[in-house]
A and B are shown apart, each in its own frame.
Chain A
C-alpha cells in the first residue's frame, strides 16, 4: 500500500516536472506559434538567478519564485524586441534564431559562472510514508504545477487580459482594428512565457542543480511535451505531461531510469505518428 502511494507520488512528481518544464514553451508556442529553442536556457537562467540571489542572502522562496521569473521575464521581453519580433510567421527561422540564442546563452553563462555545477539543497525536508521516505519538496512542486494550470485557466478564461490575448492570437488584424496593439500583446505574451520558464527553472534548481548545459536536458522533454500536447496551451500541456510522465515513471520503476527516458521518447514518437497535430489537435479542440 505504501509502495503504491510512493509510486503515485513519483508519477505525480514526474508529471509536475513536465508541466513546469513545458508551460513557458506552451504559452509561447500555443499563443504565438513560435518555437523557442532557447527555452532550456531560459530555464537554466532561472536556475542561476535563483541560486545567485540565494547566495547573496535573498530568502530561498523569494529567490525561486520572485527573482527568477522576474529576471527571465525581463530578459525574454528584450529578446522578443530584438530578435523574435522580426521573424513572426517564419517558424523554421525562429527555431534557428532561438537555437543560436541558446548557444549564445550557454556560452555567456559559462564565461560568467564557469562550468561547475552549483546547487542548493531541496527545502522542506522529507516525509515518511510507511516504510518509505520521500522529499516534501516534490509534493510541493506537484501543488505548484496544479496551481499554475488552474491560475492560467482562470486568467485566460475570466480576465480581460486573457481575452485580449486569445483574441489577438486568433486574429491580430481584427484585434488591432478593435483597438488593441498586437505588437504589445506579443511582447507581453513572450515575457509571460519567459517568466514562467524562469519560475520553473528556479523551482527545479534544488532538485537538479544548475550547470550551463542543463538546458539541453530540459529542451527535448519540453519540446516533445508541447508538440504532443497540441495547440491548446493548458489542456494540451496537462494531458501530454500526464501521459508521458506516467509512462516515464512506470518504465523507470520497471526497468532503469534511462529506459524510462527512452520509453517517454518512444511514446512521444508513437503519439505524434497517430496524432500529428498533437493530442488537442484531435481531442478537446476548443479547450484552452
Chain B
C-alpha cells in the first residue's frame, strides 16, 4: 500500500540521516561542536517526549521540565553516592517515570484534563524549581551529594563504561550514545504508534468519550504513555547532566516553554517535526545570541525573535514546519498530476 511504503521510506531516510550524523560528525568536527551536538540530541529526546504525549495522546503537559530535572538530579546524586554510573543512569530514567506514574494517577483518575492539567503540571514543575533552588547548605545533602541550591550540583560524575568506574566516556562517546538513543527512541515511538496500543492512544486523543464507550479504560492508557514521556524526559536530563551541568533551571518554566515552542514550530502531531523544531530553534537561539553581540545588532533580543516567531506560527502556520512541507509537497504533486487522490491525503494525515 502506498502509505505503508511512504512510511517505510521516511523511516529509512531518518535512519540514514541519523547514521550519517552519528559516524560523520566526529570525523571532522571539533570537541566544541561535538558537545553542542550532544546537547541538541539530548534536547531532541526531550522534544520527542512531549511530542509523544501531547501530539499523539493529547496530554498538554506544561511541566515536562519536572521530569527533565528529576532525571538530571537523580543521576548526579546517585552517581556521586555510588561511585559507578550504570545503576544511577538506570535510576535516572526510572525515577521520573515513577513520578510521572504518581502524578498521572493523581490527575487522570481525577478526570483532570486540558487547561487544568496544564496548570497542575506547570505548578508541579514550579514546586520542584522553587524547592530545589533553596537547597543550599549541608542540611540538604543527600548522602555525599550536595544539592547546591541555585548553583546546582558542582561536579556531576561523567558516565563511565559499565563495570569500569575509573574509565569515563569521552565526549565523542557520549555524543554517539545520545545520537544512538535519539534514533532508537524515534524509531521506537514510530513503531509504538503503529501497534494496537498506539492506535488506541490516538483514538483517545480524538474522542475520549467514544473510547470509553467502546470499553477502553482511558486512564490506564494515558498513564502508560505519560510514564513513557516521563522516562524519556528523564533520560534527556541525564544526558544533559553529562554535557552541561545540573542546576535548578532544569526545572524552570522557560524549559517547559521551550519544549512547547519546539513542537509548535516543528509541527504538533508528528514525531520528526518537534525534533527538527528543536534543532532549528537551538541553532537559531545560538546564532541570535552571537549576533546580538555584533555592533549594530544589539537590538536583536533572542526572546523578542522567539516570541514573534511563536505568535506568527500559531496564527499563520498552525501545523508547523512539517505541515508547511507537506502542503508544499502536495502542491507540487498537484502541479504534476491534476487529479488528487483522497486516499493519499487522508493517509498522510493519519500516518505518524
Query: Taking beta carbons and an 8 Å cutoff, which residues of A are in contact with B?
Result: 35, 83, 86-87, 91-93, 95-97, 99-108, 110-111, 216, 220, 223-224, 227, 256, 258-259, 261-262, 265-266, 268-269, 272-273, 276-277
Please indicate the chain A residues that have their CB under 8 angstroms from the CB of B131 in the complex: 258, 262
* B311 & A97 in contact (Cβ 8 Å cutoff): yes
> Closest B-chain residue to A263, C-beta based?
B127
Write the chain B residue with the least CB distance to A83.
Answer: B311
| B309: A residues at CB distance < 8 A | 100
Number of B residues contacting the other chain (C-beta, 8 Å)? Answer: 45
Check B123–A97 contact: CB distance below 8 A: no
Given A220-B122, A256-B134, A276-B112, residue A107 in contact with residue B301 (CB < 8 A): yes
Chain B, residues 113-140, CB within 8 Å of chain A (1/0): the string is 0111011101110110011011000000
B254-284 near A? 1/0 per residue, CB < 8 Å: 1001001100100000000000000000000
B interface residues with partner A (beta carbon < 8 Å): 60, 106-107, 110-112, 114-116, 118-120, 122-124, 126-127, 130-131, 133-134, 253-254, 257, 260-261, 264, 298-299, 301-315, 318
CB–CB B307/A106 < 8 A: yes
Closest-CB distance, A30 to chain B (whole angstroms): 13
Give CA–CA (A99, B307) in the complex, Å.
7
Interfacial chain B residues near A35, Cβ < 8 Å = 115
CA distance A44 to B116 in the complex (A): 25
Q: Report the Cα distance A107→B285, complex, angstroms.
A: 13
Across the interface, which residues of B come within 8 angstroms of A99, CB to CB? Answer: 257, 260-261, 310
**How many whole Å from A192's CB to the nearest CB in chain B?**
22
CB of A272 within 8 A of CB of B112, answer: yes
Q: Are B304's CB and A83's CB within 8 A?
A: no
Residues of B close to A102: CB separation below 8 A: 307
CB distance from B305 to the nearest CB of A (A): 7
Residue contact B120 to A96, C-beta cutoff 8 Å: no
Which chain B residue shows the least CB distance to A220?
Answer: B126
Number of A-B contacts (CB under 8 A): 120
The answer, among B114, B313, B315, B318, for a CB contact under 8 Å with A91, is B114
Could you list some 16 contacts between A and B, CB below 8 A? A35-B115, A91-B115, A96-B264, A97-B315, A99-B257, A104-B306, A106-B304, A106-B307, A107-B302, A223-B122, A224-B119, A258-B131, A259-B134, A272-B112, A276-B111, A276-B112
Among residues of A, the one whose C-beta sits closest to the C-beta of B254 is A216
Q: Are B306 and A100 in contact (CB under 8 A)?
A: yes
**Contact yes or no, B257 A272, CB < 8 A:** no
CA distance A217 to B192 in the complex (A): 39
The residues of A that contact B106 with a CB separation of less than 8 Å are: 273
A86 B119 Cβ-Cβ under 8 A: no
- A sample of 10 more A-B contacts (CB under 8 A), given A100-B310, A259-B134, is A97-B314, A100-B307, A103-B304, A106-B304, A107-B302, A111-B298, A223-B122, A227-B116, A262-B131, A269-B124
Is A269's CB under 8 angstroms from B120's CB? Answer: yes
Chain A residue, CB-CB nearest to B106:
A273
In the complex, chain B residues whose CB is within 8 Å of the CB of A273: 106-107, 110, 112, 120
Q: A101 near B123 (CB under 8 angstroms)?
A: no
* Cα–Cα, bound, A268→B127 (Å): 11
CA of A261 to CA of B123, assembled, Å: 11
From A105, A107, A223, B119 is in contact (CB under 8 Å) with A223
By beta carbon, the residue of chain B nearest A86 is B315
Residues of B within 8 A of A258 (CB): 130-131, 133-134
Once A107-B303, A256-B134, A276-B110 are accepted as A-B contacts, the answer to whether A269 and B123 lie under 8 Å apart by CB is: yes
Knowing A100-B309, A100-B311, A272-B116 are in contact, say whether A265-B127 is a contact too (CB < 8 A).
Answer: yes
B315 touches A83 (CB 8 A): yes
Q: Once the chains bind, are B120 and A272 in contact (CB under 8 Å)?
A: yes
B118 to chain A, nearest CB (A): 8
Which residues of B are found within 8 Å of A86, using beta-carbon distances? Answer: 315
Asked whether, in the complex, the Cβ of A97 is within 8 Å of the Cβ of B310, the reply is yes
For residue A83, which residues in chain B have a CB less than 8 angstroms away from its CB?
311, 315
Q: Which residue of the partner chain, among B60, B304, B315, contacts A107 with CB atoms under 8 Å?
A: B304
Counting chain A CB atoms within 10 Å of each CB, which of B107, B116, B260 scores highest?
Answer: B116
In the complex, chain A residues whose CB is within 8 Å of the CB of B312: 100
Q: Which residues of A contact B126 (CB under 8 A)?
A: 220, 265
